[in-house]
Structure 1
Amino acid sequence: MLVGLLGRATPWRFTRALGTAGLAFTGFCLYFFRNPKRFPPEDGKLVLASADGRITSVTRVAPPPALEMGDEPVWRVSTFLSVLNVHVNRIPVDGTITKRAYHSGRFLNASLDKASEHNERNELCVTMADGRQIAVVQIAGLIARRILCDVSEGDTLKAGDLFGLIRFGSRTDIYLPPGVTPKVRVGQTMIGGETVIAEL
């Protein structure tokens, strides 16, 4: 009799556990793919953060070769996004997408410096009205396995406009134009589309 009761109870408990897990996962996905309204500063001379997260690196390096922006070292600001951050990506300046390059690669921890060269990534060159250029790079991370980018070469965007998403933990890099110095530091928290990274 006891065996019979357990046999009847097990499917119910199993179904309930699956339902609870499914509900929790659905809630997490809704939270992860959230897209809160942002209010970009109305100043065309500012470079805005392209993602929420924490700055892990501010260093001088050459822009990505595939974007054909030259080999002069410029300031690169790297922002790491944890699974708890908003993961939509925003354009940092007003401009036109003049080059886009995708690279398949590995899925190292996105906070590592070598992720800029070895991980799966999507690179954009944004050319402003005065001819200066900024690079924005979406980098997949240890958990992230898919980069989404909704813009193409020739598209013109405003600072703060959405352009893509990286799923489940990632990183974004912004390469500033020559002569432009970042006004942020390692460890600082970014709000995509609002935090000012530099002044042009």
Structure 2
Amino acid sequence: MSLSLSPQTTLVVVDVQTGFTLAPYSSLNVYPSLPTVLANITSTIQAFRTASIPVIHIHHASVDPDSPLNPYLNPEGYKVHPAAAPLPDEIIFVKHVNSGFIGTGLEEHLRREGIKTLVIVGLTTSHCVSTTTRMAGNLGWEVFLARDGTGMFERKAAPGGNGEGFSAETMHEVALSELHGEFATVITTDKIIEALKKVE
């Protein structure tokens, strides 16, 4: 599918932090591969900057003492990953739950700026990316989610479930399938980047 973006668009970069390269995540399979996802995120961010369209960063400050994204107990993991390092003039919202809209001021900022469309990239597909995407759709924004600009780790089955768990690819694809057509349009980063070249 082709994509048309207006100047009233913003890129939302969710939780691209070094904690996802540390334990326990470092021992898990991820799909698409983390280097691929991070490279696609970097390319997308650069394309938005080139088009002079805003980039907003969401960082997760976990309150879980065991989380690699806890800023006090795991400061290294809380750091932004170099693949998505914000520029000095780019806005950062810090969240403590899965949604980028809860307790951050993101909604108020987007409405104040007259933003109509959101493009979302980040980590991970079925957690904070999914929750932020769902809320964005429910709150009335047109949302495009980059299928290769987000990634997901393998997961164990819930208690009482059949089998030992689900592959990273299955988790990723199911999450995208649940979001597409109801909360967002799932599209590839190359189509997003191509559309940015045509924004006037």
Question: TM-score band (shorter)?
Answer: under 0.3
**Higher helix share goes to which structure?**
2
TM-score, length-scaled by structure 2: 0.24
